[in-house]
Structure 1
Amino acid sequence: MENPIKKNSFLKKILALILAFGPGIFAIGYTIGTGSVTSMIVAGSTYGMQLLWVLLLSCIFSGILMFSYGNYALVTGETALFAFKNHLKWGKLIAIMIIVGISFGQWNSLMGILGISANIIFEIFLIYFPNLQGYQYEAVLIIAIVVIIVMYGFLMVGKYAFFEKILVIFVTIMGLSFFISLFMVYPLPIEVAKGLKPSIPKVEGGKMMVAAFVGTTMAAATFLSRPLFVKGKGWNINNLKQQKKDSIIAACLVFVISASVMAVASGALFHQGEPVTKVLDMVNTLEPVAGKFALTLFFFGTLSAGLSSIFPCLLIAPILLADYQSGELDTTSKQFKIITAVACLFALIVPVFGANPIEMQILSQVFNVFVLPLVILGIILLINNKKLMGQYKANIFLNIGLYAAFLFSIIISYNGIVALLDFF
């Protein structure tokens, strides 16, 4: 018979391991939201595994950028925009452009995220209570209002440790849901291998999907907010190794979870020729293939992704402003409460007008790529400044990775401009 004390001890170790995960949990929260999940589902159902290479490159560069921003914060004690303003030529202008660009992109994402999350909760209810069919608009709007009020209530608690624990719960549910779904519905290994060969789908919307992939996976908000979360965790220069490990784990988990979503959509929907364009499409196409349990599990994962993203998206504007002003985030300030309240009202636009949240979400992810080159160039200049970094100045390997990320971001930004011109 199994010793209950040993079993209890094992569960405690697992829980401690999950809770010990550092600021990387916010990186996962920012990166894998319904924006990422929606992009992966649409891409997997429309193009199979063809865009896996974009996801892989984005995750590698994300890990390098998280590491760079985290290291800068631990060595200098400064946050990103505060450092841009004080140490770079044209730094104030660059910082303001980044604040406006990222806040615009994240608040647009927030509309889509809340719309998709509310629709998913409604669809989960609909699976088990079909009589709700005629009340979609009213039900989705009420659900959206309740969700955003609850999230705002969480923000008012105003403690880093509390934010971290809430995100740990959402991200753990999300990761397990998608990973288990992968064992029920999966693509052929040859399709996965082909997906690692760089190519852009030569169809309408292919270029936009590539830009959306990068916009959601290489999210500038993730890197800029990292110094504040590193400081919030209480880390200092003695935690450099821990910070490096945290960056690598976060980037790897982003890739594994995102690739699992794409693989499930590819395995279940691509070969049926059923691309996803609305939230309801996920139900109509996935349920016959995967069954009710797998569908519910997948939806709970997507919902957790949405809820884990609403939280950081509400935080982003006050984080960037606090970063620019002083490098310190005061979650009890009047400024914090007002800005997050305005973001909550902004998030209700899609549910109130009944717009298609999936189309809005993909479009908003494309806008996220345009500030990315500035964010990467800024950290390249800072982390190579010997006066600031001393012996911790970037080595040749880190610089190769950063310059490769910079070149990649410029190519993707150009691709995003072309995609938006084609769209409009």
Structure 2
Amino acid sequence: MTRSRVVRNPVWRNILHFLMVFGPGLIVMEADNDAGAVSTYTQAGAQYGLHLLWVLLLLLPVTYFCQEMVARLGIATGKGHAAMIYQRFGKWWGHFSLFDLQLVNFFTLVTEFAAISLALQRMGVAPRISVPTAAIGLIILVTTGSYLRWERITVALCLLDLTWVIFAMLAHPGAGAVALNTFIPSIPEGGVTTDLVFLVIAIVGTTIAPWQLFFQQSCVADKKLRFKDLKFARLDVFIGACFTIIVAGGMMIVGNVMRIHHMNYEDPAQLAVMIAPILGNTVKNGILLLMVNAAVLGTTAISLSSAWAYSEVRGWENSLQMPFRSAPKFYLLYIAAVLLAAAIVLIPNAPLQTIIIGVQVLAGLMLPSAIIFLQLLLNDKELLGEEYVNKRWNNVINWIIIIILFILSITLAVQVILPSLFSSYTS
């Protein structure tokens, strides 16, 4: 007979409690450092060096406040974000948010598999092998019937991204230059141009995505966290936000190698090949594998956010703690999204660039509305009670964030749809 052991030391008790809660905050943050984020951050470093590191620091509190609200709401309701929108705002707004989420998520999945194909092709693996293999691996990862197993593996994949920091150190950017550009805002040579403005907007857009709100709340609900866990859930979110910003900074610093050596940037896979003579083949292969890792993290989180959201609304069983036979519709949704996205990437001459542009526009348009729903839910005293509802200072900060994100998102969407409208203003 197994006997449980009581931990009396308060320090160890808190550590064990935190380890039980830890996971969703880190995963939701680092999974957003997906293939698109790798491209955006490395491009920022290749074009503007270390000058945009300060933008990442500004995004640290923004990412924390958004996801802290999600964790709090998930703990208070025990339900996912999609289910709460349907419950509190009605079917019309529920259908609107769910349709947008599914559409944006699916297009994003296609871009993740495209990145896997691109990266492994540079390592001599044909897409017809790499893409199906990745799809099968992603299905196995999720369908084991163990939330804890999925979480442990996914957290391990997140921690692998610290390799970006190691590669950044190998690039020898200089600690003083990194600190200066991180804590003191600076404008790159050439001043404020349209390209610079839109790259900054892209950095903001790739750091906060609509699916994150749906994913983390469902993840918290699936893990069955309660208000006694809120303190450590907040710490989990804070660690995740810091981790993500540090990794993103590492990507910028690696991209800076191309700028120092006057190389033209095309994509992260090309960056890996170009800087191989400078940092070595180990770094080249490492960057290509990190691209795959980023896409895998993004794919599993995005696919799950879609499957969770749709299953919650339909009233289907939707827990990773259940075996396939107990929640077949939930798992089949996840599998269908993964396989269909992988199949599209394998279609000859598939319009991947059009899909990438569509993702930028749709995600940009959806993000403000998704955060508005979140903000309204967090002011619902019937849901959260007096203690956990947003305080006045919360609301002031959140509405400022919402307004800024709305302006940036609309600007990015218009620029993508009508690039000629802005090109005339480029100096």
Counterpart secondary structure, 1:31: coil
Structure 1 residues 410 and 115 mapped into 2: Cα distance closer, same or farther (>3 Å)? same
In 1, the alpha carbon distance for the partners of 2:270 and 2:328 equals 42
Q: How far off is 1:206 after superposition?
A: 4.3
Q: Letter of the 1:218 partner, please give it.
A: I
Q: TM-score normalized by structure 1?
A: 0.83
1:403 to 392, 399, 418: 399
1:182 is aligned to 2:168: yes
Q: Letter of the 1:119 partner, please give it.
A: L
Higher helix share: 1
In 2, the alpha carbon distance for the partners of 1:208 and 1:103 equals 26
State the partner residue of 1:226: 216
In 2, the alpha carbon distance for the partners of 1:142 and 1:17 equals 40
Gaps of 5+ in 2: 1-14, 421-427
1:422 is aligned to 2:418: yes
1:228–1:329: 8 Å Cα contact kept in structure 2? Answer: no
CA deviations 1:135-172 (Å, max 9, x no partner) are: x7xx1232111111221222222332122122112111
State the partner residue of 2:229: 239
State the partner residue of 1:370: 365
Structure 1 residues 335 and 171 mapped into 2: Cα distance closer, same or farther (>3 Å)? same
Structure 1 residues 116 and 265 mapped into 2: Cα distance closer, same or farther (>3 Å)? same
In 1, the alpha carbon distance for the partners of 2:319 and 2:17 equals 28
Q: How far off is 1:99 after superposition?
A: 1.9
State the partner residue of 2:311: 322
In 2, the alpha carbon distance for the partners of 1:99 and 1:259 equals 33
1:210 is aligned to 2:200: yes
In 2, the alpha carbon distance for the partners of 1:351 and 1:419 equals 29
2:79–2:221: 8 Å Cα contact kept in structure 1? Answer: no
Counterpart secondary structure, 2:413: helix
Q: How far off is 1:238 after superposition?
A: 1.0
Q: How far off is 1:208 after superposition?
A: 4.3
- Correspondence 1:282-301 to 2 at 5 A: 282-301=271-290
State the partner residue of 1:131: none
Structure 1 residues 258 and 396 mapped into 2: Cα distance closer, same or farther (>3 Å)? same
CA deviations 1:254-301 (Å, max 9, x no partner) are: 1111111111111x1123332322454223321122111222233333
Structure 1 residues 265 and 354 mapped into 2: Cα distance closer, same or farther (>3 Å)? farther
Task: Give the CA RMSD over aligned residues.
Answer: 3.0
1:49–1:263: 8 Å Cα contact kept in structure 2? Answer: yes
Structure 1 residues 50 and 355 mapped into 2: Cα distance closer, same or farther (>3 Å)? farther
CA deviations 1:284-342 (Å, max 9, x no partner) are: 32112211122223333332222212211222221111233449624533322332233
Identity rate of aligned residues, in percent? Answer: 20
In 1, the alpha carbon distance for the partners of 2:177 and 2:398 equals 31
2:272–2:285: 8 Å Cα contact kept in structure 1? Answer: no
1:386 to 381, 385, 401: 381
In 2, the alpha carbon distance for the partners of 1:29 and 1:362 equals 23
Gaps of 5+ in 1: 1-13, 127-135
Structure 1 residues 304 and 85 mapped into 2: Cα distance closer, same or farther (>3 Å)? same
Structure 1 residues 279 and 300 mapped into 2: Cα distance closer, same or farther (>3 Å)? same
State the partner residue of 1:145: 132
State the partner residue of 2:261: 272
Q: Letter of the 1:25 partner, please give it.
A: L
Structure 1 residues 278 and 247 mapped into 2: Cα distance closer, same or farther (>3 Å)? closer
The answer to which of 157-166 and 318-327 deviates more is 318-327
In 2, the alpha carbon distance for the partners of 1:102 and 1:350 equals 20
Q: Letter of the 1:58 partner, please give it.
A: L
1:269–1:275: 8 Å Cα contact kept in structure 2? Answer: yes
2:152 to 152, 161, 165: 165
